[in-house]
Structure 1
Amino acid sequence: MGTASDAAPGTNLALIRKERGLSQVQLARMANISVSLLSKVEVGDRALTPTVAATIGKALGLSMAEVLGRARVEEVDEARLTALRSAIRDYDLPGRAQAEEGAVLDAVGAVRTARDAARVHQVLARLPELLRNSTTYAHAQDTAEAWMLLAEVYSSVYWLAARHRWMDMAELAVTRQRWAVEQRASPLGEAIAARDRAGAYLNGGDADGGLVIVDRAIARAEAALSGQERAFAVGVLNLRGMTLAGRLEDKTEGAREAERHIASAERAADEWFSGGDANRHSMIFGPQNTTTHVLATRLDLGRPQEALAVAENLDTVLDGLPATRVAPSRLNVARAHLDVGDREAALTNLSAAWEVAPQMARIHPTAREVLRVLSSLHRRSNPELLRLSNLAGMPL
């Protein structure tokens, strides 16, 4: 997996630079960013954004995830992680014992629940056995539904790996996911697999490549599906597309691409999901989740005021969405407030993210980076910052 780090992203960047024997001037020149920006990021006056992390990573031959820093797992989870790696390797080796349908379905449902609640430890605890059982079940049944179920389990493996920035596992998971849906034709499954594959490009810092994956998948979904299923597939792909567009280095091109995906997603959401967001195979699409992605995209495009305008009715937008969407949205609002200089609002939203999804917040790069910058900028002791730093394992 490579070196894991408890450091916040900006601190991790400084460690990487020093390990390479580079000065700030040298690295800034290599990455074509200002020395002032790099200095502010390293000392904690500015947050390291995903776009800047990707730019620096490209200059250093690293993925964006490596610059942000891979998250550690607790000692109790090491054996589970080893078991998960083993199960991924055995993707085409079904077990000898029969996998009971009811038990497999119950286990998939339990992982869906844990994932929606952002209970990272529970997802990791359940995945190794579930992956083996769902593999056995898919090989035995050999139906589109059984293979789609296995693909969903691999999607959860990707989700877990991406949250920790374990890019080797994430990329292997999306390869296995694609393999599973190809065993029996499943256009919706192929769209979801493409969405996750594009996510691997996103976390690797290759937004351009991810957009190619998304656009090809949208064309296939539009040709193969119809009705609400088509709208759902195209919708989740457009959500990924707008996020990728926001991470493009060329922000003019990024804005143009983002608006294209935003318009398409909003049309599908308004036409087919006006009654509320749909949750299928651990994917969510509808007006509310579209709004959370627009918020994140505006922020990534360097437009924090526009992001805050999108977040004006945030409580309504987030009502009923799972913790996996609520916490990142709160973190994005915290980052936007930080960008415009409102530290108190940033801290309020950071605390809200910790409250709804503490396990995710502890490993989320934005949560750790916002906490680092707030701690650096605060000129006096703050009990809430101290509480969060203890929860995050980040000394002030």
Structure 2
Amino acid sequence: MEHVGQAIASERKIAGLSQRQLAARSNYSLSLIKAVEQGREPASPGFVAAVAAALRVDPDRLQGTPYLETLAEDGPLEGLAELRAVLAEGSYVQPLEPPSRPELRASLAAVEAALHNDRTRRAMALLPTLIRQLYGAAAQARTDSERAEAYEILCAAYVAAENACCRLGYSSLTALVLDRLDWAASHIDDTCYAVRSLMKRSRLLMAHGSTEVALTLVDRGLDMVPGDSEGERALRGYGNLRGAIVAARGLRLDLAENYIDHARQIAAPMKHESNLYTTDFGPGNVEVHACAVELEAGDPSKAAKDGAALHLPADMAAPRAGHHWQDNARAWLMSGKPDKALVALNKARAVAPQQTRLHPAVRETLHGIAAAQRRQSDSLLGFAAWLGAPL
């Protein structure tokens, strides 16, 4: 299995850089560059972003995403080609005859439920038709309120599309999706979808190492949340969690913890994980993010122990729970506990198998476990075979 370090070494040589020069350009130590290239250390998302920027290549190129062979094992990815066509049409989307408003909302609910339950392929298959129908609904609206409702549902559909593209490894499409989300959000009075777009764009910028710009978008979005309804509180809390991860990725631990504190205050009175504006915000998600902050910018051993002790709420979205266990696996590996890392990966597999098979960090962690173990165990080989990434 090729790991990110091997891809970095290849791209570095193509660029004519020494390991020392790459270390200087990426602001990481020479010893870490060597360790990642040799497979002795897993490449963290922040490391990948910094090195990709230094090499002037897309992070996906280093990670090898999307994993086409793994995706093909479950058959053709329905909806992807159609979504690409919709995005290529830009503001000239060819509409479809829309069903009734309740049917459109039911279709959106089906997409969001599929994403919540780790059925991303199902969401992708449904999205292009729904988007075209919503353009049709906006064009045929007889009143301003009907038109605004169509654009509101369209905003939510684009939010779902960005999510699906990220999970399936097609992050190169997300900038186009967010441009269309910005356009749709400009047609409604509710600023919350504009906020949602800013937060999602901050994630995209973070993946390219632009953490300072990403933080400005987070703060701009937080300033735009207008009121104190349940949905607005969830959106404000979600924005603080996004800020925490961006700050942690920029190695600004104090700022990241400040965002976590604000999010924890908002979540304190909540009794559930809210899916309003598909934020998945709640007390459980705050503690998941607190562990992620510790992993990115603090003490990996603390992140590993605290993360393993968390009792995730039953209503937490499956991919969110899966991502926590993926992070927990990386934390255990960084703490020198490869066996515990493999246990955490299997927890991620149990709760969110589709996302776990397609997340780049899982393959990096798996390779790190293999490098750390003196003898490859049957459980490790079995996980690798399931992942479609033979060691």
TM-score calculated relative to the size of structure 2:
0.91
2:275–2:281 CA contact under 8 A, matched in 1: yes
Deviation track 1:94-146 (CA, whole Å, cap 9, x = no partner) reads 52523333332222122112111222322222222222222322443444332
Does the 8 Å CA contact 1:231/1:268 hold for their aligned counterparts? yes
Cα drift, residue 167 of structure 1 = 3.7
Q: 1:53 aligns with which of 44, 48, 55?
A: 48
1:366 is aligned to: 361
Q: Are the equivalent residues in 1 in contact too, given 2:97–2:137 (CA < 8 A)?
A: no
Which residue identity is paired with 1:287? P
CA-atom RMSD in angstroms: 2.1
Instruction: Report the equivalent of 2:265.
Output: 267
Q: Distance in 1 between matches of 2:331 and 2:173?
A: 31
Distance 1:377 1:131, change over 3 A: same
1:199 partner SS = helix
CA contact (8 A) 1:178 1:190 kept: yes
Distance 1:123 1:34 in 2: 41
The equivalences for 1:287-306 within 5 A come to 287-306=283-302
Q: Is the 8 A contact 1:308 1:336 kept in 2?
A: yes
Tell me what 1:194 maps to: 198
In structure 2, what is the Cα distance between the partners aligned to 1:203 and 1:46?
20
- For the residues of structure 1 that align with 2:64 and 2:183, how far apart are their CA atoms? 29
Determine what percentage of the aligned residue pairs are the same residue: 27
* Structure 2: distance between partners of 1:204 and 1:138: 35
The yes-or-no answer on 1:212 pairing with 2:216 is yes
**Whole-Å Cα distance in 2 between the matches of residues 19 and 148 of structure 1?**
47
DSSP-derived class of the 1:235 partner: helix
Verify the 8 A CA contact 1:304 1:337 in the aligned structure 2. Answer: yes
TM-score w.r.t. the length of structure 1 is 0.89
Partners of 1:24 and 1:38 within 8 A in 2: yes
In the alignment, structure 1 residue 247 sits paired with structure 2 residue 238:
no
SS in 2 for 1:183: coil
Distance in structure 2 (CA, Å) of the matches to 1:347 and 1:309:
15
Instruction: Map 1:125-140 to 2 at 5 A.
Output: 125-140=125-140
Deviation at 1:164, TM superposition (A): 4.1
Task: State whether structure 2 residue 276 is matched by structure 1 residue 280.
Answer: yes
Q: 1:205: how far off?
A: 2.1
**SS of structure 2 residue aligned to 1:185:** coil
- Give 1:67 shift: 3.2
SS of equivalent to 1:98: coil
Distance change (3 Å), C-alpha of 1:96 and 1:342: closer
> Which of 246, 256, 265 is the equivalent residue of 1:258?
256
Q: Structure 1 residue 157: deviation in Å?
A: 1.4
Q: 1:140-219, aligned counterparts within 5 Å? A: 140-141=140-141, 142-219=146-223
Q: Which amino acid aligns with 1:263?
A: D
Which letter maps to 2:245?
Answer: T
One-letter code of the match for 2:191? P
Among residues 307, 312, 329, which one is paired with 1:311 in the alignment?
307
In structure 2, the residue matched to 1:229 is 231
Aligned-pair distance for 1:87? 1.5
Which letter maps to 2:200?
Answer: D
Q: Is the 8 A contact 1:279 1:285 kept in 2?
A: yes
**1:282: how far off?**
2.3
Q: How many residues are treated as equivalent by the alignment?
A: 382
Compared CA separation, residues 233 and 80, structure 1 to 2 (3 A): closer
Q: d(CA) in 2 for partners of 1:257 and 1:129?
A: 42
CA contact (8 A) 1:245 1:257 kept: yes
Paired letter, 1:126: L
Moved more, 11-20 or 232-241: 11-20
Q: Deviations over 1:160-199 (max 9, x none)?
A: 2222443431111111112112101112222222221212
Q: Does structure 1 retain, via aligned residues, the 8 Å contact 2:120–2:168?
A: no
Q: Deviations over 1:211-234 (max 9, x none)?
A: 10010111111xx22233331121
Amino acid at match of 2:375: R
Q: Deviations over 1:361-391 (max 9, x none)?
A: 1111111110111112222131111111112
Q: 1:8 to 1:77 in 2, by over 3 A?
A: farther
Q: Does the 8 A contact of 2:304 with 2:329 survive in 1? A: no
Partner of 2:32: 37
Q: Which runs of 5+ in 1 are unaligned?
A: 1-5
Q: Please list the CA deviations of residues 54-85 of structure 1 after superposition, one character each: whole Å capped at 9, or x if unmatched.
A: 22122112344443332134354366322111
**Bigger mean CA offset, 60-69 vs 211-220:** 60-69
Q: Can you give the 5+ residue segments of structure 2 that lack an aligned partner in the other structure?
A: none
Inter-partner Cα distance in structure 2 for 1:104 and 1:140 = 14
Query: 3-state SS of the aligned residue for 1:320?
Result: coil
Mapping of 1:342-381 within 5 angstroms? 342-381=337-376
In the alignment, is the contact (CA less than 8 A) between 1:91 and 1:135 conserved in 2? no
- Residues 124/373 of structure 1: CA separation in 2 closer, same or farther (3 Å cut): same
Equivalent position SS for 1:267: helix
